[in-house]
């Protein structure tokens, strides 16, 4: 006889799948349909005009997508490297140094994005990086490094360094230990940190708007502009472009880590 908790679990799983799929399905219909008014179940007409806006002449979504992708990749790489070294250093510290280090990493994560953007904006203006793509990159890196540092802090706190110690005992230098031992053993964590940093950048609105001064056009900003202007079809297309790449990246990462073992010479 099937227990009540088991029946609930079986019933909740389809509901969870439906709740995840329905918004994507609605966005998909909205991106190719127009004249969709209540109580109609489907749009009155269908067109791929909004998707042609991604790659067509004078398209705005395409350049915004490329800008967001470039910022996300650069931010993810920088945050992965910084977070790995910072997390390792904080994990090795003790007492008040560890507390201050963890608090410093948590601050950009916990701070409201608008407050963080305001403080960074003044710094970027003083450095001559205001309203530039480099300034937006710096603004994205700050919270992303906070996330990856906390991520690696948790990893290095419970991770034993016996393999690195053994390599040093056998005469390996610091760079050899890093290249031949640490990186191959932590390739999964490094890829996850790369994606974490990229996703932090991917959906940024306040930091991009303030640091970029409105001149750096990323995909989230274009989606907001289309929503405000009542361009629902273009807004739905941009929203799908915001959702699909992170989902695809996570899926590809899980597939790669499941089927491929990374081996460095």
Indicate the domain borders of the chain. Answer: 62-259
Q: How confident is the model at residue 168 (pLDDT cuts 50, 70, 90)?
A: confident
- In the structure encoding, which two tokens stand for residue 133, read together? 């793509």
CA distance 79 to 122: 22
pLDDT of residue 144: 96
Q: What percentage of the chain carries pLDDT values higher than 70?
A: 88
> Span 192-218, mean pLDDT?
91
Question: Considering only 12-26, 124-138, 199-213, which range has the smallest mean pLDDT?
Answer: 12-26
Query: What is the CB-side half-sphere exposure of residue 121 using CA atoms within 13 A?
Result: 16
CA distance 76 to 88: 18
CA distance 105 to 13: 36
CA distance 150 to 91: 10
> Span 221-227, mean pLDDT?
91
Q: How confident is the model at residue 1 (pLDDT cuts 50, 70, 90)?
A: very low
Question: Of 201, 220, 228, 234, which is closest to residue 59 (Cα–Cα)?
Answer: 234
- Domain 62-259 fold is MetI-like fold (1.10.3720)
pTM of the model as a whole: 0.83
pLDDT of residue 175: 75
Do residues 93 and 105 make contact, with C-beta atoms less than 8 angstroms apart? no
């Amino acid at each position: 006889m099937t227990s009540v908790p088991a029946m609930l679990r079986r019933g909740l799983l389809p509901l969870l799948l439906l709740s995840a799929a329905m918004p994507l399905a609605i966005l998909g219909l909205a991106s190719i349909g127009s004249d969709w008014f209540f109580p109609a179940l489907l749009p009155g007409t269908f067109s791929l005009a909004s998707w042609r806006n991604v790659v067509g002449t004078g398209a705005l979504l395409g350049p915004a997508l490329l800008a967001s992708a470039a910022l996300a990749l650069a931010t993810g790489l920088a945050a992965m490297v910084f977070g790995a070294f910072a997390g390792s250093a904080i994990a090795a510290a003790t007492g008040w140094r560890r507390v201050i280090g963890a608090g410093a990493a948590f601050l950009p994560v916990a701070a409201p994005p608008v407050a963080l953007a305001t403080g960074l904006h003044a710094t970027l203006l003083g450095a001559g990086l205001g309203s530039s793509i480099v300034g937006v990159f710096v603004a994205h890196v700050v919270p992303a490094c906070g996330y990856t540092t906390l991520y690696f802090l948790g990893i290095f706190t419970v991770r034993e360094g016996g393999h690195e110690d053994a390599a040093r005992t056998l005469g390996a230098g610091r760079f050899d230990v890093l290249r031949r031992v640490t990186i191959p053993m932590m390739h999964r964590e490094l890829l996850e940190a790369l994606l974490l940093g990229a996703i932090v950048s991917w959906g940024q609105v306040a930091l991009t708007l303030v640091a970029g001064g409105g001149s750096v056009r990323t995909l989230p900003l274009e989606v907001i502009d289309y929503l405000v202007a009542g361009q629902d079809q273009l807004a739905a297309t941009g929203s799908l472009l915001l959702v699909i790449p992170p989902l695809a990246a996570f899926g590809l990462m899980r597939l790669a880590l499941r089927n491929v073992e990374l081996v460095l010479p």
